[in-house]
Copies of this chain bind each other. A is one copy, B any other.
C-alpha cells in the first residue's frame, strides 16, 4: 500500500520511547494476522515500560500512592497487519496531560532489518486516555504530581 510509505518515518525519532515486542502464536488469529484487540495490550506494555524507565513501576505506584491509572478512552487505527515472528517497535509519548487525565499517543511499527538497513512501517496508531483512581474505592483522584512531571 503506497499510502503507507509516508507514514514510515516521522514518529520514530530517537527521543520517543520505544519498546520491542515479538509476535507469538497467542497474538494471532485464524486470519493469519495479529488479532486487532491485541494492539491495546502492546500499547500498554510499552506505556508500562516507559513509566518504569521513568522510575514508576505499576505495583510500586499502587503501593506508594494507593491509586492506579485506569483507561478511560482508546482509539486505534489499523493500517497494515503484523504476522507470526514479526518484531514490532511500539512507541509512547505524552500528547496532553492534566491533573485528572493524560492522553498518550502510541504507534506500532513493523521492524524489518537486513545487513544494509533497518526500516519501520507503521502498522497501527492510537491514543489512550488515562485517569487516576483510588485502588480500593475506584473513585477518581488526581494524578500524583511526580508522575505527571516525569512524563512531560
Contacts and interface: CB of A to CB of B under 8 A. Distances in A.
Interface of A: 22, 24-26, 28-33, 35-38, 40-41, 44-45, 48-49, 52, 57-60, 62, 68, 70-78, 81, 83-85, 135, 138
Secondary structure at chain A's binding surface: helix, strand, loop or mixed? mixed
Given A24-B44, A58-B84, 18 more contacts: A22-B45, A24-B48, A25-B44, A26-B37, A26-B41, A28-B29, A30-B32, A32-B32, A33-B138, A36-B40, A36-B71, A37-B44, A59-B85, A60-B85, A72-B77, A72-B78, A74-B75, A75-B76
A152 B62 CA distance: 41
Specify how many copies of this chain sit in the oligomer.
4
Contacts of A76: 73-75
